[in-house]
Copies of this chain bind each other. A is one copy, B any other.
Amino acid sequence: MANSNSNSHYSKLSQHFQKISHFEHLSALGDWDQATMMPSGGSEARGAAMAELAGHIHELKTADFIEETLNLAADEVLNKEQAANLREMQYQYFQANIVPASLVQSKTQLAYQCEHAWRVQRKNNDWQGFKPNLEALITLVREEAAIRAQAQNITPYDALLSKFEPDMTTRRLEKVFGSLKSWLPQMITQVQANQRNDLKVEIPSFSAKKQEALGRDVMSFLGFDFTQGRLDTSSHPFCGGVPGDIRLTTRFDETDFTQGLMGVIHETGHARYEQGLPKQWRGQPVGGHRSMAIHESQSLFCEMQLGRGAGFLSQLEPLISQHLGAELDSQALTALYTRVESGFIRVDADEVTYPCHILLRFEAEKGLVDGSLAVADLPDFWAENMQNLLGVDTRGNYQNGCMQDIHWAVGELGYFPSYTLGAMYAAQFRYAIEKSLGSVDALVAQGKIQVIFDWLEQNIWSKGCLLSTDALVKQATGEPLNPEYFKRHLEQRYLK
């Protein structure tokens, strides 16, 4: 893995990043345990230990020797993979060092307070309470964005995007999302008009225990290896842990098993990506996931391209009947899992209306960062756009409007586009698979789901960060991001 000369600058860096990964392993364990296992009495000591660990990791990431050593390593003879690793080291070092520690600290502190207050304020629909907090946080975000922008000679919002999507630009997103905006609201109207309301299915109640057993079987069907990870419950589902030991969580609603089950399928997509990252590069920057959009493309591939397709639902039918004893045939499951309904809440949205929530947030974030949208004007902006995009009225309903997401409450701007980019990449991968292997739905229905995962492993998972996002997508599908596949997918599933 390392340069054959173990005294090289490259291998000094390689050892250092491996060391960082060991401490990040402990950080992932601490996070997972806190969310799934830790009793309340543990929070004080855990909080202190995790803060200490975060500080230590930050020290390692900003160690004095790195900058010069990166420069010296650039002059060494490296093979292609080592060169890619060095590129990712440079990227990570840059991201960790670009913002002054004092600004990182003030933002972390403010975000912590703001999030705590938001949990109560959201419950109370208290926009007047949230507004000054968000204003203060946005001021710091703009400061951060300006520093990042100057250092990279890009625009401030591009600089925020690049934290999650290296190489993605506002200009490119505007093109992609502009096209989406031109046809999606109309499609939603059309889909809802055609939708058969007589197919509405009553969902019976099932114990969490039964749902968990079903979830495990579905995970195994999706190729999840339980010697390489676990499933537990937490109030907010996530996919944590490390590649050889993925800690996936979900929650079960006893009155509606469908959401928890789809949550398991979604997180299993994230998990298989992590488990499939190149083993020989574990602990090195080039061995990590490519970007948040590519990560989300894998979960959405499982959830949307596979999970809500007729082939998969036909396989799900006997498992549901076995575990829950419910008589839900694949027609009923399809009706449940492809229902389209305009609503207030992003995380509850179906795959057709979901991108509208992102379009709105993308425009809002750009405005908040470049100053053309004041925090005070956010509710009006929200109401107007929700009306135009989805035909729903959010006036006065802050808690289900601009206060619904945690992202802004912790000062995280630039992340939202990754969700819809992920959905687009997932569709593009699906059509690439179909070009070489035939219908994904048919493969799943015939019990050949393994060949689909083989394709993903070979083309996406095993590549880690060896290629740029564009190069990865092009190598896998023959072209860079092309949102037409997403449109085609929605048309095929919802307008046929």
Binding site for B on A (CB under 8 A): 19, 22-23, 25-26, 29-30, 33, 37-42, 44-46, 48-49, 51-53, 56, 225-230, 241-245, 282-283
Q: Which residue of B lies closest to A52 (CB)?
A: B22
* Contact pick for A22, options B41, B53, B244, CB 8 Å: B53
* Contact pick for A26, options B19, B30, B225, CB 8 Å: B30
Are B38 and A22 in contact, CB atoms less than 8 angstroms apart? Answer: no
Q: List B contacts of A33 (CB < 8 A).
A: 29, 33
A230 to B39, CA, bound (A): 7
Q: List B contacts of A37 (CB < 8 A).
A: 37, 230
CB distance from A66 to the nearest CB of B (A): 18
Q: Which residue of B lies closest to A245 (CB)?
A: B42
Oligomer copy total: 2
Q: Which residue of B lies closest to A19 (CB)?
A: B52
CB distance from A230 to the nearest CB of B (A): 6
Residue among A30, A45, A53, A225 with the highest chain B CB neighbour number at 10 A:
A45
Q: Which residue of B lies closest to A37 (CB)?
A: B230
Q: Which residue of B lies closest to A40 (CB)?
A: B227
9 A-B pairs closest in CB distance: A42-B245, A41-B228, A22-B52, A25-B49, A22-B49, A41-B244, A41-B227, A40-B227, A26-B26
Are A39 and B282 in contact, CB atoms less than 8 angstroms apart? Answer: no
Q: Which residue of B lies closest to A36 (CB)?
A: B37
Are B242 and A39 in contact, CB atoms less than 8 angstroms apart? Answer: no
Are B53 and A229 in contact, CB atoms less than 8 angstroms apart? Answer: no
CB within 8 Å for A23 and B49 given contacts A29-B29, A33-B29, A33-B33: yes
A458 to B479, CA, bound (A): 73
Q: List B contacts of A243 (CB < 8 A).
A: 45
**9 A–B pairs (Cβ distance < 8 Å), ordered by A:** A22-B49, A23-B52, A25-B45, A25-B49, A29-B33, A38-B245, A39-B227, A42-B241, A45-B242
Excluding A22-B49, A39-B228, 8 further A-B contacts by CB distance (< 8 Å) are A26-B29, A29-B33, A39-B230, A41-B245, A42-B228, A42-B241, A45-B282, A48-B283
Q: List B contacts of A241 (CB < 8 A).
A: 42
* Contact pick for A244, options B45, B225, B282, CB 8 Å: B45
Q: List B contacts of A283 (CB < 8 A).
A: 45, 48
Q: List B contacts of A230 (CB < 8 A).
A: 37, 39
Are A245 and B45 in contact, CB atoms less than 8 angstroms apart? Answer: yes
A286 to B42, CA, bound (A): 20
A243 to B245, CA, bound (A): 27
A51 to B18, CA, bound (A): 12
Q: Which residue of B lies closest to A230 (CB)?
A: B39
A48 to B26, CA, bound (A): 11
A241 to B228, CA, bound (A): 24
A17 to B22, CA, bound (A): 22
CB distance from A58 to the nearest CB of B (A): 14
Q: Which residue of B lies closest to A25 (CB)?
A: B49
Q: List B contacts of A44 (CB < 8 A).
A: 244
Q: List B contacts of A56 (CB < 8 A).
A: 56
